[in-house]
A = this chain, B = another copy of it.
Amino acid sequence: MNRFWTAGLSVLLLNASAIADDGPLRGFTAESAAEQRQWEEKLRALPNADNLRESMRLLSARPHHVGSAYGKQNAEWILARFKEWGWDAQIETFGVLFPTPKGRLLEMTEPKRFVAALDEPALAIDPTSGQKTEQLPTYNSYSVDGDVTAPLVFVNYGLPEDYDRLERLGISVKGAIVIAKYGGSWRGIKPKVAAEHGAVGCIIYSDPKDDGYFVDDVFPKGPMRPANGVQRGSVMDFSASWPGDPLTPGIGATTDAKRLDLKDAKSLTRIPVLPISYGDAQPLLAALGGPMAPVEWRGALPISYHVGPGPAKVHLKLAFNWDIKPVHDVIARIPGSSNPEQWVVRGNHHDAWVNGAEDPISAMVVMLEEARALGELVKQGWRPKRTIVFAAWDGEEPMLLGSTEWAEAHAAELREHAVAYINTDGNGRGYLSMGGSHTLERFINDVARDIKDPETGLSVKERRRLAGLARVSAEDRAELRNRHDLRIDALGSGTDFTAFLDHLGVPSIDLAFGGEDDGGIYHSIYDDFYWYTHFSDTDFAYGKALAQTVGTAVLRLADADLLPFEFTGLADTVKMYLKELRTLADNQRNAIVERNRQIEEGVFRAAEDPRRKTVAPTHEEVPPFLNFAPMENASVALERSASRYEAALAKAWAAGVPAATIQKLNQGLKDTERLLTDDAGLPRRAWYKHLLYAPGVYTGYNVKTVPAVREAIEAKAWAEAETEIARVAKALMAESDFVNGAAVELERHGSR
């Protein structure tokens, strides 16, 4: 229960609930809340900074990528810990396609020869940086093999709009090798869009503007990327196809699974891709001619950034071992007492690109502390109502291999049993970031209200709210001051909730602290114990806070009498998305109208500098107005149902709701996220079933909300946009109908 809906009860209760952690708890009766509070207090007292530090030291002691000896050893060590703490645990292994480099060459052949080092040097001060024989070389996994020589073109972040800009500059990348900066979107978008524009190869480098010396001192003096640091990472084209094993879409990659031929694996890139350091990039960029890059494209290297093409010409040669490797997921359970058939799933991956102290070990050790603490509570007599499943995933880095294969292998059970999935994937210092399904917005806000920020002593929710006031617009300040909950982010992808939320419709949450922990060691050999304990959450205070946050969330979800899903937050969010979509369509229409007008007026001819020739845009058809009415109607219906449910729940809860009714409601509530999915999936990517959230086809990790509608508008596919508006509206109406039905059910009890 919470401040907002106690308002309907009494002034006395309202006052009482102003004190954060002894007010009512949503979904708990007054009696069960009191007991729950005690267990939560106990749980939050258990996480220990020394344990976090020592587990990190051990798990990040050696490189532990997919298929490595130390990765397997880590999985076995984690398994042993679960068992030691009383969990029912085992390892589930899948066989996945995981390419590793056989040969890598990048050289400039014109106007002068330069061979890229493609090597991250060991640092004397940093003990694990010298484990050369075990480190994976710097590369992008799921790049195809290739051997290409071509003129170079600088394409900024390599996003679709960057190519529009190049077109205005009269520059084509057809037959060229592009060099793109890391950032601006997920890395895999860069080779994908480059290939769509006819490029034959793609280089990605980390500009010092984005995570190097421009931001702060570089490692080891400071936390940022040194001149030869390289970001490894997957470039699998997962958002247009599917994540997980490229050869077993939609099914678990078990030993006997039917596998695609490599040539049919749609999620590989179409052109060879290689990541490099800014040390290696500078000579290439400095050798470019052609027009100056647009101002906002320029980075922090001490050069004039030109676009090309050429005179720089480069030779890129890549070959990979296309092996099937094992991934070892560690799965552990505490069975539920009264509702064992409802599962609360919580996960974090254990594999890394190299030593991965920050990514993922900083949160892997948090999950282990939660597991130890929950084991401790069981020893003290606590039994969760629902079954708790903890998962230490393998193979997240190449593209969510372990979690996706497990989720696909157990799809039917999960659709039936999973109540929620809670994910973490690294932790830092600062503010709690909360992403997730909006039916859990209230729930996770309530948890955040009960966790103390180690730096300020405020609740982590209040710290974020107050600090937000200093950063946002006047309009957003009003919302921060007046809205009951902090808005949570919609989830895109890039970590292990993806199969749960997008493929199975399991309501998901993703949590981490951050914002005070800038770093430039992501996916490099420098993401290690030395870096983390010098520059991030050095005293593991936020590691403890994250264990308290996720531990509390797991405990509360596992124990609640009534599942704490809430729908006014969802309705408010849907309304906001609808407004965004209308604005997107309007802005797009207005921009085209204005540009057509400017073409007619002769603006582009007038603004042309004859020494800097450009290509004027051409007249474009003005987009039609779209029929948003079905979504408008559904949005309003959902808003009404959600309010009705809250009112009915408050009244009924005060009067007392019979266990059978609660049980019946829970059965329905656990399926509400799945009402927002459609088995047919999104257009051209059927693996993605959720109609409100998906990774964008052209953004990768970044979410597109109401994806089918939004991407249809962006792609100017008007007929598809209207079809998809109707499909989304239908799902929202189904959601509204369920919520309304639940309210009717509760009203029967409230009136007694």
Contacts and interface: CB of A to CB of B under 8 A. Distances in A.
Interface of A: 208, 213-218, 222, 224, 292, 298, 300-304, 430, 455-456, 458, 462-463, 465-467, 469-471, 474, 477, 516, 594, 598, 601-612
B467 A303 contact: no
Contacts of A304: 213-218, 222, 224
A604 to B, nearest CB: 7
A216 B292 contact: yes
Given A455-B610, A606-B462, A606-B463, A469 B601 contact: yes
Contacts of A516: 609, 611-612
Contacts of A602: 458, 466
B218 A601 contact: no
B466 A603 contact: yes
6 contacts: A213-B302, A216-B304, A218-B304, A222-B304, A455-B610, A470-B607
Contacts of A605: 456, 466
A612 B518 CA distance: 12
Given A208-B302, A598-B470, A606 B213 contact: no
A467 B606 contact: yes
Nearest to A298: B214
Contact of A469 (B303, B456, B598): B598
Contacts of A208: 302
B610 A470 contact: no
A603 B467 contact: yes
A367 to B, nearest CB: 26
Quick one: copies of this chain in the complex? Answer: 2
A283 to B, nearest CB: 14
B601 A466 contact: yes
A611 B215 CA distance: 16
4 residue pairs, one from A and one from B, having the closest CB atoms: A466-B606, A467-B607, A302-B302, A516-B609
A456 B606 contact: yes
Contact of A302 (B224, B301, B430): B301
A618 B612 CA distance: 51
B466 A607 contact: yes
A604 B300 CA distance: 31
A217 B303 CA distance: 8
Contacts of A217: 304
B606 A303 contact: no
Contacts of A601: 466, 469
Interface centre among A474, A607, A610 (most CB of B within 10 A): A607
A592 B71 CA distance: 56
A216 B293 CA distance: 9
Contacts of A300: 300, 302
A591 to B, nearest CB: 10
Given A302-B301, A466-B603, A598-B470, A608 B214 contact: no
A611 B436 CA distance: 30
Contacts of A302: 208, 213, 300-302
A489 to B, nearest CB: 20
Contacts of A462: 606
B456 A608 contact: yes
Contacts of A606: 456, 458, 462-463, 465-467
Given A214-B298, A300-B300, A477-B594, 6 more contacts: A216-B292, A217-B304, A458-B606, A465-B606, A466-B607, A470-B603
Contacts of A298: 214
A279 to B, nearest CB: 11
Contacts of A607: 466-467, 470-471
Contacts of A465: 606
Nearest to A477: B594
Nearest to A302: B302
A465 B606 CA distance: 9
A152 B330 CA distance: 56
Nearest to A474: B594
A608 B213 CA distance: 23
A602 B465 CA distance: 11
A222 B612 CA distance: 14
A430 B215 CA distance: 36
A471 B594 CA distance: 12
Contacts of A458: 602, 606
A509 B292 CA distance: 34
Contacts of A467: 603, 606-607
Nearest to A227: B302
A435 B214 CA distance: 38
Nearest to A481: B601
Nearest to A213: B304
B603 A469 contact: yes
B469 A213 contact: no
A507 to B, nearest CB: 30
Interface centre among A430, A603, A604 (most CB of B within 10 A): A603
A609 B456 contact: no
A456 B213 CA distance: 44
Nearest to A590: B474
A474 B586 CA distance: 14
A688 to B, nearest CB: 36
